[in-house]
Amino acid sequence: RVAYVNGRYVPHVHAMVHVEDRGYQFADGVYEVCEIWHGRLVDMKGHLDRLERSLRELSIAMPMTRAALTAVMRETVRRNRVTEGMVYLQITRGVAPREHIFPPASTRPAVVITAKAFDRIKADKQAEEGVAVITTPDNRWERVDIKTVGLLPNAMAKQKAKEAGAKEAWFVDADGYVTEGSSTTAWIVTQDGALVTRPNGTGILPGVTRQTVEEVARRDGLKLEERKFTPEEAKGAREAFMTAATTLVMPIVAIDGQSVANGRPGSIATALRQRFHEVAQ
């Protein structure tokens, strides 16, 4: 395996960043995860748009053009011979003596890109079974709309899910509404067949996969309701599912140990998963 680190392709085992990298000390950086499908990067426009927005919110300069970034991501995929998998891209504010105040604007952002294969057959099998989620209080900061590498609450929530035998943890805000999963967008399907997901801009990361799924839904004439929902509504829903570049549309069959509908993946989630790559760019 090779990784791209600040302009060079290096063996993955030797891919290092400096101890004074601000990503390491302050979680002062952002990232993107893109799916590789049949050797192609999926939904790059959405990921690059969100990357630029995240960087802008943190006043970190784009380290290279979108075209150059895309080329390096493709080259990393090629050098790793990945046809099904994902690319990880991380940009931090760079290396500077530890000091909370931002270093001079001339500091070069640090760019790391890796590619990893994943077992699509296994993932599809999991989607045929469906997965379980738990709920947990949302204890993150207020700017989770920025895709920063500050993921400790997310990691802790995911670990809690694992220990409960579940695949994902859904965060619940102080008013009792589901925000999102620790690394996925949360959805339900109402008894009358409407897709429900929380509006962007209020305590969630705007999902790129979500955008494409919404496009699939529009094309297929499904009803879409952007509104909040509670764990209780989700438990009584016709279907529940999650989306992310890493999971695509993944049916949820249990929430906090309680079956959703008959405990089998729903037909709408299953259809959305199958249709996804026909619509994704």
Nearer to ligand PDD, 50 or 235 (CB): 50
Rg (CA), the chain: 19
Among 246, 261, 264, 279, contact with ligand PDD (rule: CB under 6 A): 246
Give the shortest CB-143-to-ligand PDD separation in angstroms: 12
- Piece of the chain touching ligand PDD by CB under 6 A; list 74-82, 110-118, 125-133, 208-216: 208-216
What is the C-alpha separation between 247 and 1, in angstroms, rounded? 23
Tell me if 231 contacts ligand PDD by CB under 6 A. Answer: no
Tell me if 180 contacts ligand PDD by CB under 6 A. Answer: yes
What is the C-alpha separation between 25 and 139, in angstroms, rounded? 21
**Contact predicate 198/243, CB 8 Å:** no
Nearer to ligand PDD, 154 or 270 (CB): 154
Give the shortest CB-260-to-ligand PDD separation in angstroms: 20
Sign of the CA dihedral running 115, 153, 50, 57: negative
What is the C-alpha separation between 177 and 259, in angstroms, rounded? 19
Tell me if 156 contacts ligand PDD by CB under 6 A. Answer: no
What is the C-alpha separation between 195 and 187, in angstroms, rounded? 7
Closest CA to 47 of 72, 77, 70: 70
Note if 147 is an active site residue.
yes
Tell me if 245 contacts ligand PDD by CB under 6 A. Answer: yes
- Piece of the chain touching ligand PDD by CB under 6 A; list 20-28, 76-84, 114-122, 205-213: 205-213
**Contact predicate 261/239, CB 8 Å:** yes
User: Where in the sequence numbering do the catalytic residues fall?
Assistant: 147
Binding site for ligand PDD (CB under 6 A): 33, 154, 180, 183-185, 205, 207-210, 243-246
